[in-house]
Structure 1
Amino acid sequence: DHFKGWLWKWTNYIKGYQRRWFVLSNGLLSYYRSQAEMAHTCRGTINLAGSFIVTEDSHNFMISNGGAQTFHLKASSEVERQRWITALELAKVKATRLAESDDSSDEDSLVSEMEKNDLRITLRSLVGKLDDLETCNDLISKHGGALQRALSDLESLENNLISQNDSSTLSSRIKTVNERATLFRITSTAMINACSDFLQLAQTQGKRWHKSIVHEREQRLRLEETVETLAKQHNTLERALHAGTGPPRPDPGSNDKDNKSKQSDEAASDDEDEFVDASDKGFTTEFVKEHRKTPSTASSSSIEQNGSSIAPVASDEQDKIPGMNVEKRVRRKRIKDKPNYSVNLWSIMKNCIGKDLSKIPMPINFNEPLSMLQRLGEDLEYSSILDRAEKCSTSQEQMAHVVAFSVSMYSTTLYRTGKPFNPLLGETYELDRRDDLGFRVICEQVSHHPPAAAMHVDSVNKSQSSGWSYWEEITLVSKFRGKYLNVTPTGVVHLKFHKSGNYYTWRKVTTTVHNIIVGKLWVDQSGDAEVVNHTTGDRCKHKYFPYSYFSRETPRKVSGVVVDAKGLAHYVVSGTWDAQMDCAKIVTVNNANKSKPLYKTLPSKKLWQTHPLPVGAEKMYFFTDLAVTLNEQEPDVAPTDSRLRPDQRTMEEGNWDLANDLKQRLEDAQRGRRRRREAETAAKKAMGQEVEPYKPVWFEPKKCPFTGEITHVFKNTYWDRKEAKDWSDCPTIF
C-alpha cells in the first residue's frame, strides 16, 4: 500500500510528458515535481477507490476516477510499469474495502457481543480443524512414503528368497509391511474424520451466515426503497415549490383586462415577498426575481447590476416579431406515455465494455424518441440569456451571462437517462421558433465515423445588424466502463454578438451516467471549462464539481471568476447546473493566498433559473416543455428531417417492437450506402482519379480564425431552399 518513485506524467501538448515524483499511500496517489516538494506542495492527488486503471502499451498506463481527474503516466521500462500496476491494483482493492467498511460501520455496530463471540469461537474451531487436517496430511505423506518403500523392498526381497529358498527373512519383512499399512490406515481414518468434522461445521455455519446475508440484503433493499421513496417525495415537493413560485398563467380563453391587471398586481406582490439565499459566502440573500420564460411565453425582467440595468427582452404581449411576418402557433403540450418494456440489460451491455457505443447497435429500449440533432436544438431552451447578454453595458457582464447560458445547456440532463437516436449521415433537423423563442436552428449530420453533427442558430433580429449567432460542430465519444458511461463531447462552441462584435468560444464538459447495471441511473457533469472572448481578451475559467459522497461541496456545483485581458477579476459566477446561476460583482480582492484569492462582492444577481417540468414528465421521458415540441410534425421541412424518421416516430407512438425493426433496416441501408462509397473510392484510387470526401449539403468545412480548428459552418442556403421548396440536393436516407 506504500510505494514511491519517478514516473513521466502527461501535462499538455506543448510540454508533453514531464518527470514527476509519485507517492502511493493509504489508497491515494499523489505527485510532486521533486522529492523536496513532499514537505509543502502536492501537485495533485487521485483516490484509487472507485477509479479504474488502464494499460495502454508496454510503458504507458492511465488512472481515472471517471470525473475530472485523469493521470496519463509513462514508466521508464515495462518492468517498472508492471511494478506500479501491481502496487496500484493492490492499493485500489484495499481502498475499496476500506470505503465499504466505512459505509457499513453503522450496521456493524448493531451486531451484539454474543454474536461476535460465537463468530470468534467458530473461526477458532475451523482454524483448529484446519491444523488437524494439515497434521494428518503430513502423517499420511510420511507413512505413505514408508509403506511404498517397504513394498518395494518386499518385492525385491521376495525375488531373491525364491531363488535361495529362505522363508524366515520374507516373513519378517511381511510383518514390517503390515505395520506400515496399519499406521497408514489409522492416519487415513483420522484424516477422513477430521475432514468430516470440518465439513459438518462449515455447512452448519454456512447456513447461519447465509441466513444473515439474506437478512442483511432484505434490509438493504428496504432501505433503498425508502430512500427512493423519499427522493421522489422530495422531487415532487421541489416541483410544487417551483410551480407555486412561478408567475401566474392567464386563462387563454379570457380577455378580461381587469383579470390581467389583477394577475400582474399579484405577481408584483409575489416579487416583493420572495427571497433566495445566495450560493457562496459573502453574497447577500436578496435578488430581483426573473420571470421564467416557457416555450409558449417569452418574458424577462430587467436585472439591476451596480446601479445599471440590463434591458429586458421581448415581453409576453408581443404576438409577432417586429419587421417579420411570423405568427405564433399553438404547440403540443404532451406526447404519448412511455410504455413499460422490459429488457435484459446485462445480456446487451456485457459486450459493450470499453467500446464506443456509437458503433454498437442498441435497441430503442435505451433510447428516447429524439435524435441527437434535436437534443442539440434543446440546448437553446434558455436563449433568453443571450438576448439579455446582448444588451449588457460591459463585456465582463456579458461574459457572466454567456457562462450562465453555457451552464444552462446541462439542466435538461438531470433526469434524462435515455439515449438519443444516432442520426444517419445526411440527416437534418430544423427548429424555427422565431414566433416565441426568437431564434431558428438548422442541424446536419456531417460525418458518420466518427459521428459528427453541425448546428447553426440565428437570433430573430440578426438582419437588423444586432442579435447573435451560435454554431458548433460536435462529436460525442462515449465509453462504457461497466458501472458507468462516460460521454465526452469534442469540438468548439462559437457565439458572436453582431452589434458589439464580441466573439466567444468554449468546449463542453464530460457527462457521466452512473449505475448502468445495478441501481438507479443518475447523471453528473464534471470537468474544467473556459469561455473566452477573443475580441476583448476576457475569459472565465469555471469548474463543474463531480459529485462525491465524501465531498462537502454542493451537489452539481459550478463556480468561476470572470477576468479581463489584464487578469483583473470582475465577477464571480456560481450556482448549480441543474437549477440556477448567479453572479456578483467583485469589489476588492485579497491575494494573501495566491492559489485561492478571497473576493469581496456586491449582492449576487440571478442570471438563470430552470423552468419547472410539465405535469406528468416522468411518464414522458422527463421531457421539458420545449422537448415535447421538438418532434412535433412540421410542414415543408426537408425530406431528411429527423421528424420524418420512421423508427423514431414509431417509438414515440409506443410501438417499440416495430420501431426496433425499422431502426435495424435504416442502419442496414446506411451500411450498404457506406460500402458502395468505399467501393467507388477504391475503384477511383485504382484508376488514379482524384477522390473527393463526403460533402454535407448545408454545411462546409472552414478554419476558425481564432482557434485554428477546422469546423463545419453554415452555407446560408437552407432557408432560401425551404422558401422555394427545392430539396433536390437532399439524399434519400429514410
Structure 2
Amino acid sequence: MADSSVKNPPPENFKGWLYKWTNYIKGYQRRWFVLSNGLLSYYRNQAEMAHTCRGTINLSGAYIDTEDSCNFVISSGTQTFHLKASSEVERQRWVTSLELAKARAIQMMEEDSDDEEELPSDVDRTELQTTLHILTSKLEDLGICNDLISKHGTALQRALSDLEVIQDPTEAISKLKSINERATLFRITSNAMINACGEYLELAQAQGRKWQKALQYERDQRLRLEDTIETLAKQHNSLEQACREKGRQDHKSVKGTDADDDDEDNEFYDATEDFTSVQLISNVKGHNRTGSDISGNSIASSEGESRPGEPLSTDDLMMQDKHSHKDSSSYWLKPSSIQTGRVRRKTIPTKPTAGLNLWSIIKNCIGKELSKIPVPVNFNEPLSMIQRLGEDLEYAGMLNTAAECKTTLEEMCYVAGFTIGAYASTAVRNTKPFNPLLGETYEFDRSDDLGWRALCEQVSHHPPAAAIHVEAKDWILWTDITIASKFRGKYLQVFPQGIIHIQFRQTGSHYTYRKVTSTVHNIIVGKLWVDQSGECEVVNHTTKECCRINYKPYSYFSGDTPRKVTGVVTDTMGAAKYIISGTWDQKMEYAKVLHTSMDKGSRAKPLYQTAPPKLLWQKNPLPPNAENMYNMTSFCITMNEPEEGIAPTDTRNRPDQRLMEEGLWDDANKEKLRLEEKQRATRRKREAEATAAAEAGKPCDSYKPVWFDRKMDPLTKTITYIYNSRYWDCKEKGEWPECQDIF
C-alpha cells in the first residue's frame, strides 16, 4: 500500500510501501521504497532512511517488466527486485513513475555524453590556447582604441572650446576645417572601438557558454559523486551491521550455552600471541571464576595484597597513606592529606539539541589535518585539547600506589595500568575538543584532594603541540604532545606524537612510553564510536625492565572482547614476571607469573602459569544524566570549573568555550571566529616583524612559550619542552607580566 502523503508525487521523487520477495521461507516482506534521481532504493522502514540503505538499482540500465495484476520486476543485470503492490492501480503508478525516471536517467546520461564531447581535452588544448591568445590580442586592441579615443576626443573638445572665443568669421571658417578633421579622426577610432568590442563580445560569449557548460558538468559530477559516496557509506554501514550480527550468531552457535565462560577462558590467548606468542594455562589454588580477564577472586599474592573479596578501587588507592616515604624535597608544596574543604561542581549545563549535517561540513576536508578542519562548536565539547591532556590523570592514584610498591616490577604494573586508564572515558566521548590558541594555558591543581597539580601550555601552532608538567609528592610526569590526524572519509585517525616521562622520587625509576592510535569510526553515517589500537612499550630506563602492551583493534569478524588490552611485564633479562589483561574502557588486572613452559604444538609459544589476579583499576561510573553532559566523567566535569587567580591565558577564561558550555552556541561560534582571526592577525604581525628584522640584519627570535623551555632531552636525545619552574611563583604573587592577550 502506498503512503497517503505521496499521492500524485513527481516521478523523480516517489516513495511508498511495496512488498519485496526475499526468499522461499519468508516470502514477500513489506519494505519502504524511494525513487529519486534515477535510483530506486529500499529500506525496512522509513526510519532507516537516515542511516541504512538495503539496496539500490540504477534505472538508466534497468529492465522493468509487469507480470500479473499486482506484481512487477526490476532488473539491472547485477540484481533483481521482485515486487508486489497492494493493488493494480498502485502497481501502475509505480511502473509509470519508474518508466519516466528511467527515461529521464537515460536522457541525463546522453546529455552528459554530449557535454563530455564538448569539454576541453588533451586534443583541443591547442584550440583553448589559441582562443585565449585571440582574446588577449582583442583586449590589447581595445586598450589601444581606448587610448586613441581619449586622445582624439580631448583634441576635438579643445578645438570646440577655441571656436567659442573666436569673433572673426573668416578665422572661424578656417577653424571649422580643423574641427572637421579632428571629428573625423574621433569617428574613425570610435568605429574601430565599436567593432573591436563587438568581436571581443562575440568571442567571449561563445567561449563563455562553452566554459559555463563545462563548469556545470563538473558541478553535477561532484554532486553525483557526493550522493554516491553517501549511498556507499550507508550500504557499507548496513553490511558491517549484517556481518556483526552474523558473527555473533556464529559465535553463539559454536560456543553454545557456555559461550561466555569459554570466551573468558580464551580471552587472554589471542591478544598475547599477536605480539608475545604466549599462552596462559592456569591459575594456582583453583579459585572460582570471576568476570575478570584473568580468573580468580581478586585475592592478592604476597606482595602488597588486598583482602580476599575486596579488590582495590581507585578511591582506595588514592586514600592510602602517602607518608610511608619521607620526602624532604621542596619541589612538592602541599601534602595530599591536607583538605581545603573545597566543594567541586558535579554537573554542567545540559547540552542543547541542534541539528547539523556533519558530512556537509567535512566532505571537502578529506585528507586534511584535524586541526585544519573548520568545524563549528556544535560538534565540540566544552573542553580544549590541553585540558584533555589533564584528563589523562583521572587514574593517577595508580602512580601514588606504584610509588609504594616493594619491587620495581610491580611498580611497572601500576604504571602500565595508568597508561591504559587514560583512555577509559574515550569509549563514550566522540565530540571534538577545542583547538587551543598559541600561548593558551591550563592549570589543574588537585594537590588538596588527589595529591598532584598539573600545568599545560600550547607551545606551538604549526605543528600544533602542547606541553604538560605534573608534580606530586612521590612522582613527576612531563611530556609534549603533537597531534597528527587524517580524515579518511568514513573514519578519522589521530596519531599522538611525543614521549611521556614518569619519574619516581624514591626509587629513581624513570619510565617512558608513547600513546597509541585513536580511530573515530562512522564519520559519514551511523553512530560514532572510538577505538584504540597499536602497541605501547613502557620502559623503565633505570632498571631496563619493560612492559609491552597490545591494544587489539575491534573487528566485527572476531569473537574477542571489544577494546581488549593485554601485556607482559619482563625483567632485565627478558623473562616474563607479570601478565596484565582487561579492557581499556572498563578495568585492568595483573597477575604474577609463577611458571613458564613452552607449548609443544606447532606454534611454539610460551605457556604462563599465574597467581590469582589483582585489580589495577576499574572505570569510575558516569554521573547521572551524563549523556546530556557530553558523556563527561565526574572528574572531567570539574576541569572547566571557573577559578580565581589563574593566568589570564588559562583556557577557562576563553569566551567561546565558556559560552559553548553555557549552551549559547550561536554566540560561541561568533566568538570562535573572532578569536581565530585575532590569532591570525597576531601571527601575521609576528611574521612581518621577523621579515623586517631579517632584512635589517638584526636577530629576531621566533615564538617562545612562557612556562616551558625548548631543550634537548638527555635520555631520549630528542628536542622537547621542559617546565621552567616559574608558573606557581607567579600565581602566588598574582603577577603575570609575560602572558599575552590572546582572548
Give the TM-score normalised by structure 2. 0.60
The residue that corresponds to 2:394 in the other structure is 381
User: In the aligned structure 1, how far is the partner of 2:336 from the partner of 2:551?
Assistant: 41
Instruction: State how far apart, in whole Å, the 1-side matches of 2:382 and 2:398 are.
Output: 27
Does the CA-based 8 Å contact 2:289-2:296 persist in structure 1?
Answer: no
Cα offset, 1:678, TM superposition: 1.2
Q: Does 1:430 align with 2:443?
A: yes
Cα distance change, pair 214–558 in 1 and its aligned pair in 2 (3 A)? farther
Q: 1:30: which partner in 2?
A: none
Relative distance call for 1:710 and 1:210 in structure 2 (3 A) is same
Distance apart, 1:677 and its partner CA = 1.2
Match of 1:458 in 2: 471
Deviation at 1:614, TM superposition (A): 0.4
Could you say which residue in structure 2 is the equivalent of 1:603? 612
Tell me if structure 2 keeps the 8 A contact 1:277–1:285: no
Name stretches of at least 5 consecutive residues in structure 2 with no aligned partner.
Answer: 1-19, 30-60, 87-233, 246-286, 300-308, 327-332
User: Which residue in the other structure is 1:240 paired with?
Assistant: none
1:278 maps to what in 2? 292
2:657 counterpart (635, 644, 648): 648
Determine helix, strand or coil for the equivalent of 1:469.
Answer: strand
Instruction: Mark the runs of 5 or more structure 1 residues left unpaired by the alignment.
Output: 1-106, 117-196, 229-272, 303-309, 314-319, 462-466
Q: Compared with structure 1, are the counterparts of its residues 114 and 351 closer, same or farther at alpha carbon in structure 2 (3 Å cutoff)?
A: closer
Per-residue CA deviation, residues 402-437 of structure 1 (Å, 9 max, x unaligned), is 000000000010100000000000000000111111
Q: 2:716 matched to 1:695? A: no
Deviation at 1:569, TM superposition (A): 1.2
Structure 2 residue aligned with 1:619: 628
Q: Report if the CA contact (8 A) 1:292-1:611 is conserved.
A: no
Question: Given the superposition, is the C-alpha separation of residues 729 and 198 from structure 1 closer, same or farther in structure 2, using an over 3 Å criterion?
Answer: closer
| Counterpart residue identity of residue 277, structure 1 | G
- The one-character-per-residue Cα deviations of 1:470-498 (angstroms, maximum 9, x if unpaired) are 01100111111111110110000000001
> Residues 494 and 341 (structure 1 numbering): CA distance in 2 closer, same or farther, change over 3 Å?
same
**Cα–Cα, structure 1 residues 321 and 709, in superposed 2: closer, same or farther, change >3 Å?**
closer
Q: In the superposition, relative to structure 1, how do residues 274 and 377 fare at CA in structure 2: closer, same or farther (>3 Å)?
A: farther
Pick from 391, 413, 430: which aligns with 2:404? Answer: 391
Look up the match of 2:187: none
Q: Which residue is equivalent to 1:666?
A: 675
CA–CA separation in structure 2 for the residues paired with 1:395 and 1:198: 71
Cross-structure match for 1:507: 514
Which residue of 1 is the match for residue 428 of structure 2? 415
Cα shift readout 1:550-577 (whole Å, capped 9, x = no counterpart): 1122211111111112111110111110
Q: Which letter maps to 1:668?
A: E
Structure 2 CA distance, aligned partners of 1:114 and 1:500? 72
Aligned residue identity for 1:279: D
Alpha-carbon deviation of 1:701? Answer: 1.3
Residue 312 of structure 1 and its aligned partner are, at CA, apart by 12
C-alpha distance in structure 1 between counterparts of 2:593 and 2:448, whole Å: 38
Deviation for aligned residue 1:591: 3.0
Matched, 1:201 2:65: yes
C-alpha change, 1:111 and 1:374, in structure 2 (3 Å) is farther
What amino acid sits opposite 2:433 in the alignment?
A: P
Closer/same/farther in 2, CA of residues 533 and 212 from structure 1, 3 Å limit:
farther
Query: Could you tell me how far 1:224 is from its partner in structure 2?
Result: 8.0
Q: Describe the SS at the equivalent of 2:478.
A: strand
CA offsets, 1:529-561, max 9 Å, x none?
Answer: 100000000011110000001112221111111
Q: Secondary structure at the match of 1:399?
A: helix
State whether structure 2 residue 485 is matched by structure 1 residue 478: yes
Amino acid at match of 2:462: H
Q: 1:58-102: per-residue Cα shift (whole Å, max 9, x none)?
A: xxxxxxxxxxxxxxxxxxxxxxxxxxxxxxxxxxxxxxxxxxxxx
Distance in 2, matches of 1:590 and 1:293, equals 34
> What does the per-residue CA deviation read over 1:130-185, in whole Å, with 9 as the maximum and x for residues that have no partner?
xxxxxxxxxxxxxxxxxxxxxxxxxxxxxxxxxxxxxxxxxxxxxxxxxxxxxxxx
Contact between 2:377 and 2:669, CA under 8 Å: does it hold in 1?
A: yes
| TM-aligned CA distance change 1:205 to 1:552, over 3 Å | same
Say if 2:429 and 2:631, in contact at 8 Å, map to a contact too: yes
Query: RMSD value over aligned CA atoms?
Result: 3.6
| Structure 1 residue 325 displacement after superposition | 6.5
Aligned partner of 1:680 in structure 2 is 689
1:706 pairs, out of 712, 715, 730, with 715
Aligned to 2:310: 289
Computing the radius of gyration from Cα coordinates, the structure with the larger value is: 2
Q: Distance in 2 between matches of 1:311 and 1:586?
A: 28
1:322 Cα deviation after fit: 4.6
Aligned counterpart, 2:351 = 338
Distance 1:562 1:676, change over 3 A: same
Local SS of the residue matching 2:686: helix
Seen in structure 2, the aligned counterparts of structure 1 residues 284 and 656 have a Cα distance that, compared at 3 Å, is same
Distance 1:199 1:109 in 2: 19
- Return the structure number with greater relative CO, CA threshold 8 A, min gap 6: 2
Q: Is the 8 A contact 2:531 2:554 kept in 1?
A: yes
Contact 1:445 1:454 in 2 (8 A): yes
Structure 1 residues 212 and 457: CA distance shift in structure 2, 3 A: farther
The alpha carbon displacement at 1:360 in A equals: 2.2
2:577 paired with 1:570:
yes
Report if aligned partners of 1:289, 1:606 keep a CA contact under 8 Å in 2: no
Partner residue in 2 for 1:717: 726
Letter in 1 for 2:583: T
Instruction: Select the residue among 562, 566, 570 that pairs with 1:555.
Output: 562
Equivalent AA in structure 1 for residue 381 of structure 2: E
Tell me the SS of whatever aligns to 2:645. Answer: coil
Q: Does 1:347 align with 2:368?
A: no
CA-CA distance at 1:365 after TM superposition: 1.1
Q: Distance in 1 between matches of 2:312 and 2:288?
A: 12
Contact 2:21 2:28 in 1 (8 A): no
CA distance in 1, matches of 2:369, 2:419: 26
- The offset of 1:212, in angstroms, is 5.7
> How far apart in 2 are the matches of 1:533 and 1:727?
38
TM-score by length of 1: 0.61
Q: Partner letter of residue 291 of structure 2?
A: D
Q: Deviations over 1:654-690 (max 9, x none)?
A: 0101100100100011011111111111222222222
Q: 1:129 corresponds to which residue?
A: none
Q: 1:224 to 1:198 in 2, by over 3 A?
A: closer
For residue 292 of structure 2, what is the amino acid of its counterpart? Answer: A
Q: Are residue 536 (structure 1) and residue 549 (structure 2) matched?
A: no
Kept in 2: contact 1:312–1:388 (CA 8 A): no
Matched residues in 2 for 1:550 and 1:214: separation? 38
- SS of 2:638's equivalent in the other structure is helix
Equivalences, count: 478
Aligned equivalents of 1:514, 1:214: Cα separation in 2: 38
Measure, in 2, the Cα distance between the counterparts of 1:449 and 1:396: 39
Distance 1:583 1:213 in 2: 60
1:237 — aligned with what?
A: none
SS in 2 for 1:682: helix
Shift of residue 324, structure 1, vs aligned partner: 8.2
In 2 relative to 1, CA 597–108 (structure 1 residues): closer, same or farther, beyond 3 Å?
farther
Note closer, same or farther for the CA distance 1:598–1:199 as it changes in structure 2 (3 Å cut). Answer: closer
Match of 1:524 in 2: 531
Aligned partners of 1:301 and 1:312 also within 8 Å: no
